[in-house]
Structure formats: structure tokens, C-alpha cells
Amino acid sequence: MDNKTILIGVNDVFFYTKLRDALKPQGYALEKARTHGEVADKAGALRPAAVVLNINDEGLDAFKALEALKSDARSKSIPILAFANHEEVDNWKRAQQLGVTKIVSRNEFSSRTLQLVQEVVGTGGARSAGPPPASDGTGGAHSP
């Protein structure tokens, strides 16, 4: 893969640091976006290998970002990895309806960051979003 740029739509320093620590040593370049408009603009201009969105980020409307990404021909096929609180089933369903490639719980994202990004980048935009999380708190059937 020639393009190893990952666009990160997140304001939370913890998750940005998690991504940086997991991806930079693997040769990925990170580009940060703090608003849904910035996500859409940068995705269209940069054509990153993938976009990572924090669905629960209050400073970034991830749903508006998803709508913008999927409605723009320049970014429509870019794979999108999203993460959200496992108990917010409605957010999971909405993200899937808007075309997210894969959505996982915050816990799974934290424990498998590199593997998840590699899975999504390898999909070439194919839908691989899992089912909404289980109500037992397991985050769905995403065991490694």
C-alpha cells in the first residue's frame, strides 16, 4: 500500500495518542481533524487510506462527518473505522446505516488499534461493520 495516511476525526487526546503510538511505528502518517467539516475537507483533499472516527466525540459531529464523506465522490470509497460506547446501540445502528466500514467498542479499539486499522485499510471500502454490541457489555462478537 502506497498511501499510509490515516485521517483521525477525534478531539480526545487519549485516543489520538493511542493511534499515534500504534500506527506511527508501522509507517503510517496521521492527519488530525477536529470538526466534521474538517474531516470532510481533509478526506477529499488527502484521500487517506482510512478515516477513524470517535462517534462519541462531542466536539465532532461524527454523523455529519459520515454523511459528508459518503456524499462526496472524492471520499465515498475511503474505509471508515469508528468506535463508540458499547451500550449506545442506536449510535452503532446509525453509523452502520450511514456507511461506516467497521464500528467497534471503545475497549476493543483501545486493545486492538493497529489490527483494526489494518483490517479496515485492507477492506478497500467493503462493508464489514459488525452487529450492534451485545447488551451484556461484551461489545459484540469481536473477540480476537
| Cβ neighbours of 62 (radius 10 Å) | 25
pLDDT tens digit sequence for 8-47:
998 988 889 989 999 999 999 999 999 999 999 999 999 9
pLDDT at 37: 93
The residue extents of the domains of the chain are 5-123
Task: Give the predicted TM-score (pTM) of the model.
Answer: 0.84
The rounded distance, in Å, linking the Cα atoms of 35 and 22 is 23
Task: With beta carbons less than 8 A apart as the criterion, state whether 63 and 95 touch.
Answer: yes
Q: What CATH number labels 5-123? A: 3.40.50.2300
